[in-house]
Amino acid sequence: MKITSVECYLGTGAIGGFVTMKINTDSGIYGWGEAGLAYGKSAEAAFGQCQDFGKLILGMDPFNTEEIWEHLHRHTFWGMGGGVVITSAMAAIDIACWDIKGKALGVPVYKLLGGKTNDKLRAYASQLQFGWRKDIEAKDGLTLLYDPKDYYRVVKEAVDEGYDAVKIDPVFAPTEPAPMGDVMATQGTQIRGCYREHDLKRSVERIAAAREAGGPDMDIIVEIHSLLDANTSAELGKALEPYRIMYYEEPTMPCNADMFKHIKEKSGLPLATGERSYTRWGFRQFFEDRTLNVIQPDLANTGGITETKKICDMAQVFDVTVQAHCAGSPISTAAALHIEAAIPNFCIHEHHFRSTQPDLTRLCKYDYQPVKGIYTVPELPGLGQEMTKDAMDNALMHVTVDRNEKGL
């Protein structure tokens, strides 16, 4: 089997953006992959990188995922330096190749990864500071919650749907309401390095309201989106200790792993990071320092299924559990479900608010949603997911790569 062409798709939208790839083969079997940069400010860069790397895999056998990964890593000059634009394009190619392998063999991808160790996947309702289904659907877009009473309300909504775990960023919304555009443009700068008492108090009140709404048995994940410096994050973590936090996610930037030692020593909370760490090399120091309880690799950014499985296996050596970061289209969500089903150190699945919205779910053929907070893994051959014709036809940009290119 040989790769004959690569189709790259770019779509935009506050909730429904995507950078996806379809790899075609001479057997007629095709596979879908995703580069996880549709949100943020790098979608077009990932779209272009997918085209560049697509030229380099024409004529290769999609079953040889290790060979393809190493080829893109070692023979493209910038590959060995890493960086999310590079690794997201590698991820799109890798995920699509695993989809092809599963389809060709007539089995779901998780069976190619060793089979299931987890039949049902516990999920949490993610990013409740933006509201949950009712808020987002009522406003037909993102909202942002300020009052602790609203945090109480949305947690109650999630619990009523059957979730026993939620994730909240208590610092994303400033203390006083502001236009969404202003908040997104300044993200946390009002509290970096100087956590004023009223800001700290309001952040803690939001988590206290969530705990009250969910009761003592509900798990709360506190997300910071790397918006705080290490000292400020440690101060907040210490204040949150009474609320039994499941783990403290991205308390600061992962670029300097030593800062996680400082936060762990000062706050005592279990720590997690990973959505902005790429490949095995990006996670190595965290494992060796033993600062993390949970890693959160994003399959669509860290190099695909091939690389993420290796990262998860490394984590198991250090007794670290895994929660894949899931904030992309249903393509990357399906890939994450297959990994999480196969690994023994699975922790919990992220059910992002984006995954509940029609703008995103309409992009793909199947709408996999948790039932009472539990996911089941797709049983169709391959990923068990693909883009709809309507999504492809209405993509902002579509480029087909069918000419080989040699050299760096």
Dump pLDDT digits (tens) for 271-291: 999 999 999 999 999 999 999
User: Using an 8 Å Cβ cutoff, are 200 and 236 in contact?
Assistant: yes
The neighbour count for residue 160, using CB atoms within 10 Å, is: 8
C-alpha dihedral, 150 to 156 to 160 to 162, nearest 10°: 110
From 38, 88, 62, 21, select the one nearest 302 (Cα to Cα).
Answer: 88
What is the average pLDDT value for the chain, to the nearest integer? 93
- Decide which of 191 and 143 is more confident: 143
Whether 16 has a pLDDT exceeding 70, the answer reads no
Parse the chain into domains and list their residue ranges: 3-106+388-401, 111-376
Q: What are the residues whose beta carbons fall under 8 Å from the beta carbon of 242, sequence distance 6 or more?
A: none
In the chain, helix, strand, coil percent, each to 5? Answer: 45, 15, 40
Whether 82 has a pLDDT exceeding 90, the answer reads no
Q: Please tell me the distance from the alpha carbon of residue 316 to that of residue 335, in angstroms, as a whole number.
A: 20
Q: Please tell me the distance from the alpha carbon of residue 286 to that of residue 126, in angstroms, as a whole number.
A: 24
What is the pTM for the complete model shown? 0.96
CATH of 111-376, one of 3.30.450.40, 3.30.470.20, 3.20.20.120, 2.60.40.10: 3.20.20.120
* pLDDT, tens only, 345-396: 999 999 999 898 888 889 999 999 999 999 999 999 999 999 999 999 999 9
The neighbour count for residue 87, using CB atoms within 10 Å, is: 28
Query: What pLDDT, on a 0 to 100 scale, did the predictor assign at position 12?
Result: 74
Whether 408 has a pLDDT exceeding 50, the answer reads no
CATH superfamily label, 3-106+388-401: Enolase-like, N-terminal domain (3.30.390.10)
Q: Please tell me the distance from the alpha carbon of residue 354 to that of residue 326, in angstroms, as a whole number.
A: 9
What confidence category does residue 407 fall into, taking pLDDT thresholds of 50, 70 and 90?
A: very low
Whether 15 has a pLDDT exceeding 90, the answer reads no
Q: Please tell me the distance from the alpha carbon of residue 381 to that of residue 394, in angstroms, as a whole number.
A: 26
Query: What pLDDT, on a 0 to 100 scale, did the predictor assign at position 14?
Result: 57
Q: Please tell me the distance from the alpha carbon of residue 307 to that of residue 329, in angstroms, as a whole number.
A: 19
Mean pLDDT value of segment 10-26 = 86
Q: Please tell me the distance from the alpha carbon of residue 159 to that of residue 373, in angstroms, as a whole number.
A: 9
Q: What are the residues whose beta carbons fall under 8 Å from the beta carbon of 110, sequence distance 6 or more?
A: 116, 337, 338, 339, 341, 342, 377
Please provide the DSSP assignment of 191-241 as one string: TTT---HHHHHHHHHHHHHHHHHH-TTSEEEEE-TT-S-HHHHHHHHHHHG
Query: What pLDDT, on a 0 to 100 scale, did the predictor assign at position 211?
Result: 98
Instruction: Report the amino acid identity of residue 145.
Output: L
Query: What pLDDT, on a 0 to 100 scale, did the predictor assign at position 2?
Result: 98
Q: Give the position of tokens 């890493």.
A: 82
* pLDDT, tens only, 206-249: 999 999 999 999 999 999 999 999 999 999 999 999 999 999 99
What confidence category does residue 405 fall into, taking pLDDT thresholds of 50, 70 and 90?
A: low
Which helix or strand (DSSP H or E) is residue 294 part of?
strand 294-295
Integer-rounded Cα Rg, in Å, for the chain is 21
- Print burial letters for 374-385: b (CB count within 10 Å at least 16), e (below 16): ebebbebbbbbb
Range with top average pLDDT, 34-43, 179-188, 307-316: 307-316
Query: What pLDDT, on a 0 to 100 scale, did the predictor assign at position 137?
Result: 79
User: Using an 8 Å Cβ cutoff, are 270 and 247 in contact?
Assistant: yes
Reading the block at residue 4, the tokens are 């004959």
